[in-house]
Amino acid sequence: MPDPLAARGAARRLREGGLCAAFALCAALLSVCAAITSPVAYAAGASANTPVQSGRPVPVPAPPVPPPAPPRATLPGFNPPPSSNSTSGAVRVQPARMPFYVATRGTTTIYLLGTLHVGDPADYPPDQPFRKPILAALAASPTLALELSPDDLLVSQDDVSKYGVCSRECLPRLLPDSLWRRLAMRLRSNPAALEEIKKMRPWLAALLVETYDSLSAGLQTEYGTEAQLQNVYLKTRGKLVGLETLSEQMRAFTGLSLAQQREMLAQDLVQTPEENVADVRTLHRLWRVGDADAIAAWDTAKSEKLARDPRLSASIDNKIVYDRNRRFVARMVAIAAPNKPVFVAIGALHLGGPKGVLALLRQRGFIVDAN
């Protein structure tokens, strides 16, 4: 799945692992969760969480001296922990490795970067935010393809509000009593969030729960890969496209049946918030190492552990992950042309595994190598 899109993908949502949506699908949904729950929070935090939109940097107020931590996504009653980044001690000079692959078929080349829609400042050192092979691939590519185009991201908040928020309280009656009680217990220390979530449909409520847990891991939406890529790419180039439209991405959620939405939310409540935070940090570590198949294997194990109804769980995966993988591959192949590489940046969970983008490209005759 509007901006601080920080993943349920970044972009694919990490529904399987009870992680934040922002990771799996477009980071847009993560920021919308914050926006819906607090207009003030959105204006002060979410808009600053995406440094570049539609090719235009979003001005961020200059920090006082000494500088505070970078702006964080803000949600009702939520106080994020300090970032792992520190102003003292040794400074990490190497950027995160990240999953990065080169797919070739004849003279057609597709570069693929697996993204996280949230991150840590240490992932992107200011003097070299990406590894040299990634920067060289960006420089060689006339087109940067993201899950959604920046123009779609600008208007995505309205669609999330339109299709995910009811005019009055609806969530308690859409859930079984036992599931609603578990959700209310989870948010009992955050009455502001509990009041707002009552107006959400189950799929958006699930994303909000994931949002709290992902932000509690200390990661920040302004350090999502997409925003950092655009900061680099737009200095010398300007053609950014989306691999799917906003309506297509929204249908991945709005097309879920009520039973599927309930399963989605129930999975997010299986573990404690602390366990979900640990999962977010594990994903972040795996992403830094840069092995897409290792990420996919970990995610599959998490999905099997958290599924309440394996049949429903598999149907959700098909809808919001695998169907989109096939669409991504069809569109990136259509964009790529001989001797005109395309640089593709999509959620890391879309890449690996037997149904991932890398496998689908191999089925189309591409040679795919890690770089």
Per-residue model confidence as pLDDT tens digits over 137-182: 999 999 999 999 888 877 777 888 889 999 999 999 999 999 999 9
What share of the chain has pLDDT > 70, as a percent?
74
184 belongs to a structural domain: yes
Q: Quick one: average pLDDT of 312-326?
A: 94
Quick one: pLDDT at residue 337? Answer: 93
76 belongs to a structural domain: no
Q: Measured between alpha carbons, how far is 173 from 359 in angstroms, rounded to an integer?
A: 42
Q: pTM of the entire structure?
A: 0.78
Quick one: pLDDT at residue 41? Answer: 29
247 belongs to a structural domain: yes
Per-residue model confidence as pLDDT tens digits over 19-58: 333 333 334 444 444 444 433 222 222 222 333 323 333 3
Q: Quick one: average pLDDT of 89-116?
A: 89
Quick one: pLDDT at residue 90? Answer: 52
289 belongs to a structural domain: yes
360 belongs to a structural domain: yes
Q: Quick one: average pLDDT of 126-132?
A: 93
Quick one: pLDDT at residue 290? Answer: 96
Q: Quick one: average pLDDT of 126-143?
A: 93
Q: Measured between alpha carbons, how far is 130 from 230 in angstroms, rounded to an integer?
A: 12
> What residues have CB less than 8 Å from 88, skipping those under 6 apart?
none
pLDDT band at 235 (very low <50, low <70, confident <90, very high): low
Stated as kind and residue range, the H or E segment containing 282 is: helix 273-289
Quick one: pLDDT at residue 23? Answer: 37
**The two structure tokens encoding residue 164:** 């995910």
75 belongs to a structural domain: no
Of the ranges 61-65, 157-161, 200-204, 219-223, the best mean pLDDT one: 200-204
Q: Measured between alpha carbons, how far is 321 from 17 in angstroms, rounded to an integer?
A: 13
271 belongs to a structural domain: yes
pLDDT band at 210 (very low <50, low <70, confident <90, very high): confident
Residue 52 to residues 56, 153, 289, Cα–Cα distance (Å) = 5, 11, 26
Structure-token match 């790419």, residue found: 233
Quick one: pLDDT at residue 81? Answer: 53
pLDDT band at 213 (very low <50, low <70, confident <90, very high): confident
| Among the ranges given (25-29, 54-58, 106-110, 131-135), the one the predictor scored with the smallest mean pLDDT | 54-58
Q: Measured between alpha carbons, how far is 130 from 119 in angstroms, rounded to an integer?
A: 13
User: What does pLDDT average to over the chain?
Assistant: 79
Quick one: pLDDT at residue 140? Answer: 92
Quick one: pLDDT at residue 117? Answer: 87
**pLDDT greater at residue 221 or residue 10:** 221
Quick one: pLDDT at residue 93? Answer: 64
Q: Which of 336, 332, 325 has the alpha carbon at shortest distance from 360?
A: 325
Per-residue model confidence as pLDDT tens digits over 247-291: 999 999 999 999 999 999 999 999 999 999 999 999 999 999 999
**pLDDT greater at residue 13 or residue 228:** 228
In the chain, the number of structural domains is 1
Bridge partners (DSSP) of residue 143 are 342
Q: Residue 12, preceding bond cis, omega within 30 degrees? A: yes
Quick one: pLDDT at residue 271? Answer: 94
185 belongs to a structural domain: yes
Quick one: pLDDT at residue 334? Answer: 96
Domain, as residue range, for 174: 21-52+99-370
Residue pair 128/315 in contact by the 8 Å Cβ criterion? no
